[in-house]
Amino acid sequence: MSDAVEPEPGWEIFVCDEWRARVLQEITGLQGPPYTDGHVPCPTLLPPTFLVAHRTDPAAMGVPDAPVRLNAGNWCRWEAPVTPGEILERRTVVESVTTKQGRDSDLTFYELATTYRRRMTHDVVARTSTTTIRTGARQGGGGGSGHHMESPADAVPVIEVTPSSREVVRYAAATDDFYEVHYDHAFAQARGLPGTITHGLLKLAYLARAAVQWGGSGTFVRELSASYRGMDRVGAPFRVLARADDGAGDGSSRHLTLYGVSADGAVSTVGRAVIEKSEGEDGQWLRD
């Protein structure tokens, strides 16, 4: 009966599909408590980037289409854990619109902010934001960043992955993100790219896995963000390094800076995470 209750104006129903959560968990390799119990393939909590990867269609928010669409960055914060299968409500607003002069064409930045809450109590469970760019210019590049940034010497390697075409297509299906530059080679080349590129949000999911792996068993990702400074080719290795931010945290949490490194050694993605130990763990960090 409760599922039949109509949401308030401006809010829409959002179903946390179990199969989508499982695909994201499988592709990123997220293992162990609290996200999985280690015995069954189904996740016990939604993966850290699940909600931000399912933002409202920009066109529905009045964001125009353009020859080139780019993701400049993402942010998400969990106020409470959510399990696969739950039915939430969400509301998305355009927080800001900014136009800047690019090298070949104007760049228009749209910041979309989404709030997720429980249906009956209206308790907020998460907040997310996405900065999407519209431009008429060809994208170009495609391997690393235009400005070659290297990770700091004290950042430690955590994971290395090589997203395959199959994994990228599975990710596209699980998140309803079918922009052709991720799986259509000819389309990507027509946009000035040497080949297909990995979703920015898939790279964010890899950063989340690295944060969990850095923290050890029982690590919960409270907050995660990333800015995308370069593109990464599908089929090319992508490494994630982590550095603890000294003095950041309140005793129950740790703050990390995460560096996504392209095959050419350039930092293409810079992220930050706030991680905590879930209940029942001893609270000791593997790296101090």
Enumerate residue ranges in the chain where pLDDT < 70: 1-5, 38-41, 137-147, 247-251, 279-288
Residue 283 forms part of a structural domain: no
The predicted structure's pLDDT at residue 45: 95
| Beta pairing class for 230-231 and 219-228 | unpaired
Residue 191 forms part of a structural domain: yes
Calculate the alpha carbon distances from 164 to 13, 23, 50, 67, 181 in Å.
Answer: 32, 14, 20, 26, 14
Helix (H, G, I), strand (E, B) or coil at 27: helix
CB 232 within 8 A of CB 218: no
pTM of the model: 0.89
Residue 282 forms part of a structural domain: no
CATH number at residue 62: 3.10.129.10
Q: How far apart are CA 199 and CA 57, in angstroms?
A: 16
Which residues form the domain of 163? 2-277
Residue 287 forms part of a structural domain: no
The continuous run of DSSP H or E covering 286 comes out as: none
Q: How many domains does the chain have?
A: 1
